[in-house]
Amino acid sequence: MELTITYIIITIYSISLMLIFFYSLAQLNLLVNYLGNKRKNLEAPKYNLLDPKEIPFVTIQLPIFNEEYVVERLLDNIAKIEYPSNKLEIQVLDDSTDDSVLDTAKRIEALQATGLDITHIRRTNRQGYKAGALKEGLKIAKGDFIAIFDADFLPDGDWLKKTVIYFKDQEIGVVQTRWGHINRDYSTLTRIQAFALDAHFTLEQVGRNAKGHFINFNGTAGIWRKECILDAGNWEGDTLTEDLDLSYRAQLKNWKFKYLEDVETPAELPVVISAARSQQFRWNKGGAENFRKTVWKVITSKNISFKTKFHGVMHLLNSSMFLCVFIVAVLSIPMLYIKNIFGHLAWIFEATSFFIVSTVILFVCYWFTYKSIQGSSFEKFIDYIKLFFTFFSVALGFSLHNSMAVIEGHMGKRSEFVRTPKFNINNLTDTWKGNKYLAKKLSPNMILEAALMIYFLFGMYSAIPLNDFGLFPFHFMLFLGFGFVFFKSLTSKA
């Protein structure tokens, strides 16, 4: 019986390690694509916005829900978009249930008085959440192209001029831009989030797009061709990441996506860990829901290559890597004892090297994405090393929370779309204290995270009597990661 349990632990541990290894290989291939794309300079057909006949009509949709702290900043910024007024309308899709509705209405009236074509669209319910609001606005949208911005985004005045021009290619259904971060250096938490998002918006988006593999509209800071939305089946609210869902349905119908790494759209990162938790939960559960909904369609599609299918499956499995990492972490301590008790099984522990190789691959991949934005001096490389291992530790600390989201997604458990609280943080001196949208209750996961912090402290201690320090750095990062998430959660209540 004891040996049977041992073999079960080894099998689960090894499978999880191999999945992580395959994911890292996919990332490495994306890095090759990314570096290859840097050497290309292909000229795409573009609208000539100096010719009035070529200027397309654009509708900007602003889906908001209880955004008291940022809605004025959002509306004032969007009002500065440089585009012919007779070819632009703005829809404020306001599902708010608090007093912010009144302030929003007043600000919209003031902007209407300036001649801006802006409307305040209210629904009687939140059916379909953000997807439902976008779908409702689409019914009456005058534009052939639909630009979407979440409440914490601040596009530059010439944003439309830089993006809508690419739709002259009739096969393009979406143009997506890279997210920037107005509060990147606010705290360790914001630096980590910026680091992870930068990797996605450089390595992954460029790496996939460069070879015609499927990418995703990121929910904001991009434009859809209205015809593409309708042809793909319109917005659906049956997953928490409606953007990923519609993106895959559109690309399965052969619509092309254009990603613009050089066009940055600034936005505000969550500055409180409870807000980051809700965002991470939605993204990771939504990813798993979309895997469940879409992966078979990708695998069986006759219109796409094997390599595009492989990257599509790995893309849809992105969030599930947290579950693999969590399994490897939890089982690493039993594995440490198995290695020392069952000497004849020591050869199996060569599989652990796959995790080391995976970490090295990610370290290399993320360096190229980091230096593309931050620069590549020696000082920057030292900063990168510190940031990478801080990011890695905190990502491990989030693995329980995100694994629960992934499990719910794969099981098909439905849950409410929980918005990420916004703070109107523009500089290092701004504060989030008193934000009324922050969760007042402590997460039940916190007890488990505290227990895991102690568990991995025990893992470090175990290395001493066993005289086996191979996993000590891993357990140390896990201890720090769960400690960071636990103590930050304790101190982030409004």
- Of 332, 311, 242, 457, the residue nearest 16 (C-alpha): 332
- Note whether 58 and 147 are within 8 A (CB): yes
The radius of gyration computed from the CA coordinates of the chain, to the nearest angstrom, equals: 24
Instruction: State yes or no: is 103 an active-site residue.
Output: no
Q: Select which of 152, 198, 243, 245 is catalytic.
A: 243
353's tokens: 């090297």
Q: Locate 126 and state its tokens.
A: 């939140």
Q: If DSSP codes are grouped into helix, strand and coil, which group holds residue 434?
A: coil
β-strand pairing of 145-148 with 88-94:
unpaired
Query: CA 6, CA 183: separation in Å to the nearest integer?
Result: 47
**Residue 313 CB contacts under 8 Å (≥ 6 apart), including other chains:** 295, 298, 299
Q: Cβ distance 475 to 333 under 8 Å?
A: yes
Which residues on adjacent β-strands are paired with residue 172? 256
Pair 322, 398: CB distance under 8 Å: yes
243 carries an active-site annotation: yes
Q: Two tokens at 120?
A: 């305040």
- Residues 6 or more apart whose Cβ sits within 8 Å of residue 154: 73, 74, 77, 182, 265, 266, 267
| Three-state SS at 150 | coil
**Residue 371 — φ and ψ, nearest 5°?**
-70, -20
Residue type, 112: Q
- Of the listed 95, 152, 198, 245, which one is catalytic? 95
Q: Quick one: residue 119, left, alpha or beta (phi over 0 = left, psi -120 to 50 = alpha)?
A: beta
Q: The dihedral of CA 221, 223, 226, 227: what is its sign?
A: negative
Q: What's the Cα-to-Cα distance from 183 to each of 70, 194, 267, 269, 426, rounded to whole Å?
A: 14, 9, 8, 6, 6
CA dist 31 and 20 (Å) reads: 17
Query: What Cα–Cα distance (Å) separates residue 316 from each residue in 174, 209, 336?
Result: 19, 15, 32
* Active site members: 95, 243
